[in-house]
């Protein structure tokens, strides 16, 4: 059985048949996906699933990753923060570094394809080296609704040269003279991070991680990034701890394009010291089964982001039937139907209150988890994402 057929077991009826009809509109076309890291983060994970599905459905699809110096990724991390509204000192030298690395990558990569899809700010300047004939699409996964204007004005000069732009939420976009489209990100229900685990497999994985199961678990899975507010999660846990004997697990990873993670991780370790019920796990980028097992073992999953792209860790937890408490940020608000599939909160105190109410109400936790899984099945699986891209490419011609 091929992979598309395997999805029939989990996706809504008729999904695969519809995808095959859409594929006829663009069969034989060449797609080139370009981003800044092959491992770590939701973009890389989506591409790991989307690229083989494009190939299976009859399209020629390549995936390239730009390379750069440590200085370059420090610059693009500053861009990332600035575009999401945090004030940054962006010097002319930083802009020059960005342009030089993009030029070097343009000289190394073959940019000839029918559809070139560029993900996020890091490789956006590659448009300066576009080949004639192909359609170029800028896929922005972050919230640029209120950016630092110096950073946005610099990036905008490249974005306006694309044929179209895709955003994850309407509120993430900026006014542009090119067409803009909405495509929600997605998870792959058959990947190691999201597939079903047997009880034996889950126990073995948790045993290797030394995770005790003697009390309810609060879990946040995310990069160690200030926008994910891990320090706020610790504060909420401590408030909830006054009423419930719970354990907090902060499971983070790193990505090659995020040099700030080690600093934030050090701050988290300092805040958590001397508390045996706080477990900090630094997981490698390929720890998909470990994250799967942790999410299934959790009683409540948190994603208390202050700024967020779409928040696929929320999607993953919902798919596993878990109630989620998330920050009122980005795509979390689309996924968490308040009181139905989860709770969005503004504050540490709000997060603690919702932890307390869910721990006191097992029936609500169960019903919320069931509704959350069904909501993901109908809206946020990789097959829906594939269909969106096929429809957009057919529209572009």
The residue-averaged pLDDT of 30-34 equals: 96
Q: What's the pLDDT score for residue 397?
A: 87
The residue-averaged pLDDT of 189-193 equals: 95
Q: Is the pLDDT of residue 364 over 80?
A: yes
* Rounded-to-integer distance, Cα 138 and Cα 143, Å: 14
CA dihedral 379, 385, 390, 395 (to 10 degrees): 70
Q: What's the pLDDT score for residue 257?
A: 53
pLDDT in tens, 129-185: 997 789 999 999 988 999 999 999 999 999 999 999 999 999 999 999 999 999 999
CB 28 within 8 Å of CB 35: no
Predicted TM-score (pTM) of the model is 0.89
Q: What's the pLDDT score for residue 254?
A: 58
Q: What's the pLDDT score for residue 104?
A: 97
Neighbour count for residue 181 (Cβ, 10 Å):
17
DSSP of 212-245: --SS-EEEEES-S-GGG-HHHHHHHHHHHHTTS-
Q: What's the pLDDT score for residue 1?
A: 54
Q: If you count them, how many residues does the chain have?
A: 397
pLDDT in tens, 61-119: 999 999 999 999 999 999 999 998 889 999 999 999 999 999 999 999 999 999 999 99
Q: What's the pLDDT score for residue 220?
A: 98
* Rounded-to-integer distance, Cα 42 and Cα 255, Å: 10
Q: Which two tokens stand for residue 168?
A: 């994850």
Burial class from Cβ neighbours inside 10 Å (0-12, 13-18, 19+) for residue 298 reads buried
pLDDT above 90 coverage of the chain, percent:
84
Q: Which two tokens stand for residue 63?
A: 């995936």
Q: Give, as one character, the DSSP assignment of residue 12.
A: P
* Rounded-to-integer distance, Cα 286 and Cα 283, Å: 8
CB 383 within 8 Å of CB 50: no
pLDDT in tens, 37-59: 888 778 888 899 999 999 998 89
Q: Is the pLDDT of residue 286 over 90?
A: no
Query: Comparing C-alpha atoms, which of 335, 370, 383 is closest to residue 50?
Result: 383
Q: Which domains does the chain have, with CATH numbers?
A: 3-186+381-396 (3.40.50.2000), 199-379 (3.40.50.2000)
Query: Average per-residue pLDDT in the chain?
Result: 94
Q: Is the pLDDT of residue 330 over 80?
A: yes
pLDDT in tens, 226-280: 889 999 999 999 999 999 999 999 998 755 556 677 888 989 999 998 899 999 9
Q: What's the pLDDT score for residue 260?
A: 74
Give the N- to C-terminal CA distance of the chain in Å, as an integer: 31
- The backbone torsions φ and ψ at residue 50, rounded to the nearest 5 degrees and listed phi first, read -70, -40
Residue with the larger pLDDT of the pair 10 and 42: 10
The alpha-helical segments, DSSP class H, found in the chain are: 3-7, 15-23, 42-56, 70-83, 92-108, 149-159, 199-208, 230-241, 261-272, 288-297, 312-319, 332-335, 348-359, 362-379, 382-396
Placement of tokens 């999805």 in the chain? 7
Beta-strand pair 300-303/217-221 = parallel
Query: Comparing C-alpha atoms, which of 224, 248, 253 is closest to residue 236?
Result: 248
Burial class from Cβ neighbours inside 10 Å (0-12, 13-18, 19+) for residue 284 reads exposed
CB 197 within 8 Å of CB 296: yes
Q: How far from the centroid of its chain's Cα atoms is residue 206's Cα?
A: 24
Query: Comparing C-alpha atoms, which of 387, 383, 209 is closest to residue 292?
Result: 209
Q: What's the pLDDT score for residue 38?
A: 87
Q: What's the pLDDT score for residue 259?
A: 63
Q: What's the pLDDT score for residue 258?
A: 61
Q: Which two tokens stand for residue 304?
A: 């208390």
Q: Residues with Cβ < 8 Å from 382, sequence gap 6 or more?
A: 7, 46, 49, 50, 53, 186, 187, 188, 189
Angle value at C-alpha 330, between 61 and 346, nearest 5 degrees: 155
């Amino acid at each position: 059985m091929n992979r598309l057929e395997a999805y029939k077991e989990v996706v809504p009826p008729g999904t695969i048949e519809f995808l095959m009809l859409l594929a006829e509109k663009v069969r034989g076309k060449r797609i080139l996906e370009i981003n800044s890291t092959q491992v770590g983060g939701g973009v890389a994970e989506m591409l790991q699933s989307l690229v083989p599905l494009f190939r299976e459905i009859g399209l020629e699809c390549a995936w390239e990753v730009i390379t750069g110096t440590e200085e370059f990724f420090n610059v693009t991390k500053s861009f990332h923060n600035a575009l999401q509204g945090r004030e940054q000192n962006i010097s002319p030298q930083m802009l020059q570094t960005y342009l030089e690395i993009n030029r070097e990558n343009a000289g190394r990569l073959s940019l000839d394809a029918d559809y070139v899809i560029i993900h996020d700010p890091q490789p956006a300047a590659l448009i300066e080296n576009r080949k004639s004939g192909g359609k170029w699409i800028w896929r922005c996964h972050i919230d640029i609704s209120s950016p630092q204007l110096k950073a946005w004005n610099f990036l905008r000069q490249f974005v306006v040269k694309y044929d179209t732009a895709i955003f994850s939420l309407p509120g993430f976009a900026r006014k542009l003279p090119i067409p803009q489209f909405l495509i929600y990100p997605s998870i792959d229900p058959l990947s190691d991070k999201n597939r079903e685990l047997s009880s034996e497999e889950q126990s073995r994985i948790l045993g290797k991680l030394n995770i005790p199961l003697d009390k309810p678990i609060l879990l946040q899975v995310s990069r160690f990034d200030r926008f994910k507010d891990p320090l706020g999660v610790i504060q909420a846990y401590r408030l909830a701890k006054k009423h419930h004997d719970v354990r907090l697990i902060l499971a983070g990873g790193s990505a090659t394009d995020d040099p700030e993670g080690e600093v934030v991780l050090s701050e988290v370790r300092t805040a958590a010291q001397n508390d045996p019920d706080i477990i900090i796990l630094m997981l490698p980028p390929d720890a998909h089964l470990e994250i799967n097992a942790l999410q299934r073992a959790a009683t409540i999953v948190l994603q208390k982001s202050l700024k967020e792209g779409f928040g696929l860790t929320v999607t993953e937890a919902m798919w596993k039937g878990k109630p989620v408490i998330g920050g009122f940020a980005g795509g979390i608000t689309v996924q968490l139907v308040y009181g139905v599939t989860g709770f969005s909160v503004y504050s540490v105190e709000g997060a603690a209150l919702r932890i307390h109410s869910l721990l006191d109400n097992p029936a609500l936790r169960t019903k919320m988890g069931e509704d959350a899984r069904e909501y993901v099945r109908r809206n946020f699986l990789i097959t829906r994402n594939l269909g969106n891209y096929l429809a957009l490419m057919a529209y572009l011609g």
